[in-house]
C-alpha cells in the first residue's frame, strides 16, 4: 500500500509506483486528500503517469492534529480492509507520519522513502514527522549516506538502505520532456538564462508576517532588474490576501505549475530562489545555482558543493545571495550526490526480496 497526500509525494510516487509494478508487486495507492486542488494533485497523476488512486480519504486542510487524526483513522480502516503486506510512505508530511503510525500499530512493515533527512530544527512540523516516521519504520530508504549516518546517530541500525534519491529518477525521466517556455507563460517574454524562478510556501516563512515582508523586500531588489517568475502556493496566496502584503513589481505570478512546466522553468533559470526541500535538489540536478530562504537545510551536500546558499529571510542576504548565484562561477563540478536515477528500482527490488522472504517463512 503506497500512501501519498501532498504534492511532493506524487512526484516521488511516480518513480516508485512504476518500479514496484515492474518488479511484479501488486500496489494499492491511497491518497489522503491532504492536497486536493487540481493544480496541486490531479495534474501530477495525469502528467507523470501515476496510476489513479484506489482510495481517497478526502481529509482536506486543517490543523496538524485534525489532519493526523483523520489520516490515522482512515488508514487504519483501509489496512483492515486491504490487508497489505507492507506500506510505503514518502518524505515528511502529515500524511507520511500518520500513514506510518497507523501501519506500525497494526504490525504492517513500513518502508520510508527519503528516510534520515534532518534539519535539526524541531520547530518545523516536517522535522517532527521525519523523526517519528523513521523511528517506527521497518525499512529506511536513504537518499544519501549522510541520511543513513543521521539514523545511526539516533540508534537506528537495521533496515537502512542507501538507494539514491527517487527525485533524481523523476528528473532524469522527465526533464527532456519539459518544454520552454511553458504555455501558461507564453505571454511573459521570458529569455532563457535571464530570469529567476522562485517558490515560497514553508509555514515558518509564510505564517510569520515579519519574515514574509522581509522576503518580499529582498525579492523587490532582485525583480527591479531581473524578472522573477513565482508560481504562488495556495498557502502563500491566502497569507498575502489576509495580510494585504503585495508582490513587488517585476514578479510574474502564476498559480501552482505542473511538474513539466516547473522543470522547464527551473532548467532555464539564471538562479532559483526557494524555501522548498525538493527544489534545492532539483536545482543541483539541473545545474542551476540555488538560494534557499531558510536558516538550515536537510540537503547540506548542495551547500557544501557551492551550488546552494542559505540566505534566511533577511532582505539584504536574499538580494546578495541571488546576485552572487547569478555570477558565472567557480562552482565545483557536480557529482552524482543523489544517486544514479535508479533509486526506485533498488527500493522495489529490496521490497520484493523482503516480501518474498517473509512469505516463505510463514
Site residues for ligand UD1 per CB under 6 A: 6-8, 34-37, 40, 61, 92-94, 125-126, 201, 233-235, 238
Q: What is the number of other CB atoms lying within 10 angstroms of the CB of residue 260? A: 18
Residue found under cell 505564517: 207
Provide the minimum distance between the beta carbon of 255 and ligand UD1 in the complex, in angstroms, as a whole number: 10
Q: Which is nearer to ligand UD1, 94 or 223 (CB)?
A: 94
Report the residue number, 218 or 231, with the smaller CB distance to ligand UD1. Answer: 231
Task: Give the separation between CA 283 and CA 302, rounded to whole angstroms.
Answer: 9
The phi and psi torsions of 163 (rounded to 5 degrees) equal -105, -15
β-pair type (160-162, 139-142): parallel
Least distance from ligand UD1 to the Cβ atom of residue 125, Å: 4
Tell me how far, at minimum, the Cβ of 333 lies from ligand UD1, in Å: 30
In the complex, least distance from residue 123 CB atom to ligand UD1, rounded to whole angstroms: 12
Phi-psi region of 222 (alpha: psi -120 to 50; beta: other; left: phi over 0): alpha
Q: What are phi and psi of 88, to 5 degrees?
A: -115, 125
Pseudo-torsion of CA 23, 24, 30, 36, nearest 10°?
Answer: 60
Q: How far is the CB of 202 from ligand UD1 (least distance, A)?
A: 7
| Rounded CA Rg of the chain | 20
**Distance in angstroms between the alpha carbons of the first and the last residue of the chain:** 20
CB of 92 to ligand UD1, least distance (A): 6
- Measured from the CB atom, the residue of 6 and 185 that comes closer to ligand UD1 is 6
Nearest to 325 by CA among 220, 179, 202, 197: 197
Q: CA dist 36 to 39, 61, 174, Å? A: 8, 9, 23
CB of 358 to ligand UD1, least distance (A): 30
The residue among 34 and 311 lying less far from ligand UD1, judged by its C-beta, is 34
Does an H or E element contain 279, and which?
A: helix 277-286
Closer CB to ligand UD1, 238 or 243, in the complex:
238
Task: Choose between 235 and 342: whose C-beta lies nearer to ligand UD1.
Answer: 235
Cα–Cα distance between 280 and 199 in angstroms, integer?
A: 11
Residues making up the chain, counted from first to last: 362
Residue 177, classified by CB atoms within 10 Å of its CB into exposed (0-12), middle (13-18) or buried (19+), is: exposed
Contact 247/233 with Cβ under 8 angstroms?
no
Write phi, then psi, for 2 (nearest 5 degrees): -95, 125
Identity of the residue, 32 or 223, whose beta carbon is nearer to ligand UD1 in the bound complex: 32
- Residues taking part in catalysis: 201
Amino acid at each position: 500500500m503506497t500512501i501519498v497526500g501532498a504534492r511532493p509525494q506524487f512526484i516521488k510516487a511516480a518513480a516508485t509506483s512504476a518500479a514496484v509494478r515492474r518488479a511484479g508487486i501488486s500496489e494499492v495507492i491511497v491518497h489522503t486528500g491532504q492536497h486536493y486542488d487540481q493544480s496541486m494533485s490531479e495534474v501530477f497523476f495525469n502528467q507523470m503517469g501515476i496510476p489513479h488512486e484506489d482510495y481517497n480519504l478526502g481529509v482536506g486542510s486543517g490543523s496538524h492534529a485534525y489532519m493526523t487524526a483523520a489520516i490515522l483513522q482512515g488508514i487504519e480502516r483501509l489496512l483492515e480492509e486491504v490487508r497489505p503486506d507492507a506500506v510505503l510512505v514518502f518524505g515528511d508530511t502529515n500524511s507520511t507520519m500518520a500513514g506510518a503510525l497507523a501501519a506500525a500499530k497494526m504490525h504492517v512493515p513500513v518502508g520510508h522513502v527519503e528516510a534520515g533527512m534532518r534539519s535539526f530544527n524541531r520547530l518545523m512540523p516536517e522535522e517532527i514527522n521525519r523523526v517519528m516516521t523513521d523511528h517506527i519504520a521497518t525499512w529506511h530508504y536513504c537518499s544519501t549516506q549522510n541520511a543513513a549516518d543521521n539514523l545511526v546517530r539516533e540508534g537506528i541500525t537495521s533496515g537502512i538502505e542507501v538507494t539514491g534519491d527517487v527525485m533524481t529518477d523523476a528528473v532524469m525521466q522527465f526533464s527532456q520532456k519539459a518544454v520552454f517556455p511553458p504555455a501558461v507563460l507564453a505571454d511573459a517574454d521570458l529569455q532563457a538564462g535571464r530570469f529567476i524562478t522562485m517558490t515560497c510556501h514553508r509555514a515558518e516563512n509564510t505564517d510569520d508576517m515579519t519574515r514574509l515582508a522581509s522576503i518580499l523586500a529582498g525579492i523587490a531588489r532582485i525583480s527591479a532588474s531581473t524578472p522573477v517568475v513565482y508560481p504562488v502556493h495556495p498557502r502563500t496566496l491566502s497569507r498575502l490576501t489576509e495580510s494585504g502584503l503585495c508582490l513587488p513589481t517585476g514578479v510574474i505570478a502564476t498559480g501552482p505549475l505542473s511538474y513539466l512546466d516547473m522543470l522547464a522553468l527551473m532548467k532555464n533559470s539564471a538562479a532559483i530562489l526557494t524555501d522548498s526541500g525538493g527544489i534545492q535538489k532539483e536545482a543541483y540536478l539541473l545545474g542551476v545555482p540555488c538560494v534557499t530562504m531558510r536558516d538550515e537545510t536537510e540537503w547540506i551536500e548542495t551547500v557544501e558543493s557551492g551550488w546552494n546558499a542559505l540566505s534566511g529571510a533577511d532582505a539584504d542576504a536574499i538580494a546578495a545571495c541571488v546576485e552572487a548565484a547569478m555570477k558565472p562561477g567557480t562552482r565545483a563540478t557536480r557529482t552524482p550526490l543523489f544517486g544514479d536515477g535508479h533509486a526506485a528500482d533498488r527500493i522495489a527490488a529490496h521490497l520484493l526480496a523482503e516480501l518474498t522472504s517473509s512469505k516463505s517463512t510463514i
